[in-house]
Amino acid sequence: MLRTGFAAIRAELGVEVDVEPAALDEAQVAAAAPGPARRDLRDLPFVTLDPPGSTDLDQAMHLRPAGDGFLVHYAIADTAQFIRPGGPLDRAAHRRVTTIYCPDTRVPLYPPLLSEDAASLRAGHDRPAVVWTLRLAADGTLVETAVERATVRSRAQLDYPSAQGRLDSGVPDDDPLALLAAIGTLRQAIERDRGGVSLGRPEQEVVDTPDGWALTFRAPLAIEEHNAQLSLLTGMAAARLMLDAGVGVLRTMPSAGPHDLARLRRQALALGVPWPTGAPYAEVLRAVDHTTANGAAFLAAATGLFRGAAWTPFDGDPPTEVRHGAVGAPYAHVTAPLRRLVDRYGLEVCLAVHAGRPVPDWVRHALPGLGTTMAGGARRAAAVDRACTDLVEAVLLEDRVGEGFTGIVLDDRTVQLDGPAVVARLEQDGLREGARVRVRLVEADPATRRVRFVPMVDPPRPDGGDVGRAT
């Protein structure tokens, strides 16, 4: 039932599942064709680090000490080698915009023979890449940036849980994971100093288990946050190159406004989250214990600060807004070209600027419309994700209409249940944020993907129970 429903959601929201024959033909030819000559960096022992089972591997890293600091080689899949500007594959990518992740499948931006094979930085294979060389000082600050095309060969495909386990068990100081943790920790300190924030909040996920589909909240591991710092570092280096050259496309977001911060303060008070006098919101968010129900609820509420994100292209004068409010600095998307359309363009700008060459005409011609294209694709991806989660919630709860659950009020119309991992709309407003409430399920309709709760008057139980799993 659920797989049929997921497919119906993709059709309803216009997700282009099938690859048109002309685009597939172009991908097959490109995958088999030798690329242009480029620097040979196959002697560097790159490794990849991704969720278990990943096949679309955008990034590979090689880290080593360099004097008092570090040298980071960050290889990014070079999709531009395989795509002819204006050709069928390029046109298809502009329609798809992003890879769409569904509980039952992945709809890739590019055909799997590229995104999961010829362009993916798979271990044991020579692959074309755009390699960033980033020299860091002892405190983790960036002191030198270079970017070039190269051939790389990853030595190992690491995954987050196994890597975290190895790191927790202890690894030598020169192990890639130890170096990643050291660099990530330094970069997190720099992030704090510039006022940036990474929420690290538990994300609602639909998971396929041996017993059927289930909902869960999953918080990122420490190694994931360290790995994210390499991507942020590269994105900030790319933004600096673009701004210095007066051409590129930034990922921008306004800083949180006074009204939003005042509301978040009220939510902190309601949820019992400490907010010391004078402490900036980024410091408060970093201190929250996301393993507690109140902490997770507060971090979920804090996402309201992060609105207005956009992809902002420019060619000439820089845009009025150049910063990303959550990053706390100018930032650009350049590290996931297998999954996001814009990254291919950002990488081409940076390669040209660093080499002192003109930015290619095909890039400049596409820049003005990239922001609108990316925004549309991001909305579709978010809508698919939300609809799939709504469907699973409705199926899991379908046989429990009339029963009661406990949860915590996130705002005046939303409650996060203690169990299952559902964030539900309430058919009553005016409830106090942070209040523990007991709610009754009054509707769970898989056909409409609609779930409704109403508050109950009886006192809450210690636990919310378990509604089981859908098959």
pTM: 0.90
Ramachandran quadrant class, 420 (left: phi over 0; alpha: psi -120 to 50; beta: rest): beta
Question: CATH 2.40.50.140: which residues of the chain?
Answer: 401-455
Q: What is the number of other CB atoms lying within 10 angstroms of the CB of residue 460? A: 18
Q: What pLDDT score was predicted for residue 201?
A: 64
Question: Tokens 């590979």 map to which residue?
Answer: 60
**Please, what's the largest Cα pairwise distance for the chain?**
72
| Angle, in degrees to the nearest 10, between helices 341-355 and 222-245 | 50
Helix (H, G, I), strand (E, B) or coil at 437: strand
Q: What pLDDT score was predicted for residue 270?
A: 73
Q: What pLDDT score was predicted for residue 467?
A: 38
- Nearest CA among 35, 148, 125 for reference residue 82: 35
75, 150 contact by CB (below 8 A): yes
Q: What pLDDT score was predicted for residue 287?
A: 82
Amino acid at 359: V
242, 350 contact by CB (below 8 A): yes
Cα dihedral sign, 458-459-464-466: negative
Q: What is 401-455's CATH number?
A: 2.40.50.140
42, 435 contact by CB (below 8 A): no
Alpha-helical runs (H) found in 328-445? 341-355, 361-397
- Nearest CA among 21, 72, 27, 69 for reference residue 47: 72
Interior CA angle at 289 toward 224 and 140, to 5°? 45
CA 287 – CA 281 distance, rounded (Å): 10
CA 111 – CA 108 distance, rounded (Å): 6
Cα dihedral sign, 32-34-35-41: positive
The 8-class DSSP code of residue 446 comes to: T
What tokens does 379 get?
A: 């909305």
Cis peptide before 420 (omega within 30 of 0): yes
Interior CA angle at 184 toward 243 and 167, to 5°? 155
Q: Which residues of the chain have pLDDT under 50?
A: 459-471
246, 203 contact by CB (below 8 A): no
Neighbour-count burial for 359-398, b at 16+ CB within 10 Å, e otherwise: bbeebbebbeebbebbeebbebbebbbebbbbbbbbbbbb
